[in-house]
Structure 1
Amino acid sequence: MSLFSHIRRFTTGAITALAFVSVSAMAQTKPNVVILATGGTIAGAGASSTNSATYSAAKVPVDKLISGIPELSQVANVRGEQVFQIASESLTNADLMTLGKRVSALVKQSDVDGIVITHGSDTLEETAYFLNLVIKTDKPIVVVGSMRPSTAMSADGMLNLYNAVQVAGSKDARGRGVLVTMNDDINTARDVSKSINIHTNAFNSQWGALGMIVEGKNYWFRTLDKRHTKSSEFNIDSISELPRVDIVYGHQDGDTVAAKAYGTSGAKAIIHAGTGNGSVAKQVVQTLQELRAQGVIIIRSARVPAGFVLRNAEQPDDKYDWVVAHDLNAQKARILAMVALTKTSDTKELQRIFWQY
């Protein structure tokens, strides 16, 4: 073999080795993000591209979701796990516990920098808030869904998921609690709620978004001044079961049938989603007092989408030994009540928790 051939072989090998090292180094510098899939519209499919509201949820497996967005590999080293394949309205407390314990295990791993959870939009805010309360980490946890199935024209799931992975792998997202990224907004799990069931801008917070994602970059505008994740006194690892908490919805000509039924069915607390400032109809007050005397915690929330319930306004909460949910809607008040009741049933302590979380 000639000297030229030796030189050419050496040079080619060196270039190949350098290229391998370069690719390997790039992979190491990218964050490692795990996508936990639970189903929902983001994994849904319609009969045609014009079906944006009529479709079957929870059809597309996580590996197919990931492979359908090759751009994900540009922002993170991504791997997926299929935890459930469920429409989110059918999720149970047991499912919440399963998901929470898996997230808790993953955030303890040094090779995991962030977690994305794909979820149906119907109860996304409840799961996100639950994780915000019980996962002890400052690593980004992002819950994401979509309002249109992947088969629809102008489907929103691809960009939502791409943004979620980008946020989950971002150092500037650390310590901000569990986040919800949809329609380019970054919302805190604590405040966000689904406000419309048709449009892609379905998730909003009455206190405003934390930030936005524009072309793969995070822009932050505020922080959350409530306890969450690493600063929370709750830990999924020490919770074995969630107590039963039910919601009673206030309306004209309301009666006591639902409250009594929940009380006799083993509810540890009842969230009363009252009118206005958490008002309770006069014909319902006595029944709630009786349930409290039997040991059931009564928590006043409101059915209105914004504002907050004032303690001892509308009802004498101190006198009745009731708790107010502050600005949490009924479904989030239920989540916090379940978690809080794993530690205490003292109403003064419960009220402190509702102020702080």
Structure 2
Amino acid sequence: MTLRKIIHIDMDAFYASVEQRDHPDYRGKPIAVGGSPEGRGGVVATASYEARKFGVRSAMPSKRAQQLCPHILFVYPRFDVYRDVSRHVRSIFQRYTDLIEPLSLDEAYLDVTIDKQNIGSAIAIAQQIKQAIRDELNLTASAGVSVNKFVAKIASDMHKPDGLTFIGPSQIESFMENLPVEKFHGVGKVTAEKMQRMGLFNGADLKKLSENDLVQHFGKAGRFYYRIVRGQDDRPVQPHRETKSVGAEDTFPHDLTTLAEMDPELEKLAVKVATRLDKHQLKGRTVTLKVKYNDFRQITRNHSSQLPISDADSISTAAKQLLAKTDPETEGAKVRLLGITVSNFGEERSETGQLSLF
């Protein structure tokens, strides 16, 4: 069986780096793309590395970002510029392969098992791509190289910014065993905390559990954990992957019991969803609200409008209306998780019928 050669390319602090490139006054300073200068409302889309040193990160409320870094600069996003840069990045990818799977504006998988230039080395190709991005766009990207998508994605995050990490077949087993559970792609903060409470701190600990044990504790995701902890990931790079919905959800550290607590959380989620829709150049007609209670009961409610939407205000308003109809305060329910999804994209998709990510 021929081993695949997979590269995961991830642009470094993409939005923030573009802004610093185009505005000399921002260089060397902590900036946040998104949010608000007053620190009220809004969510950080991307933070520069100078801001990350203070603990500022994407999806963080701007008020919290300003608390952590009082001299942070909030910058309004320019998605049209980011999309133009992404198209250029994609044109660089296409010099080497047509098997490109975009994940967002700033990252993608490439299958270079057979490359157009007959270079043969995935490491050499990754080096050339990184250099082209630097020379042509004055930006940096990090790359992970391995035999499957999961390991390549983790590798790309290991030496940011401007990193290049190769994890070969003989290294994968020991690498996964030593990897902390919170570093596993697909394991969120809440799941990582649950694993740690169970005494599962790294891949070696996970590996001790049977597939049935993992499914019992983590549901369907348990099957995925069982495979990836062994470095097994046979998912192909899908150049024509189609997105049918875009959403975001959050599990809260304490239960929410009032609309006054829940509505601001829905506003944050709406901003995340709107940002992702903008990345994908999509608008949807159906907004779905997901509510999970502390007794593990879960409900979904949806509303479809005649006109497609993609802005945070419209998404937030629809979600709040759906939430109010559930009468959460009347029931005295304790809400553990909220989620918003937008779907039913219809003809708002790009002309090719696929995502216009790059």
Q: With the length of structure 2 as denominator, give the TM-score of the two structures.
A: 0.30
Q: With the length of structure 1 as denominator, give the TM-score of the two structures.
A: 0.30
Bigger radius of gyration: 1
Q: Which has the higher strand share?
A: 2
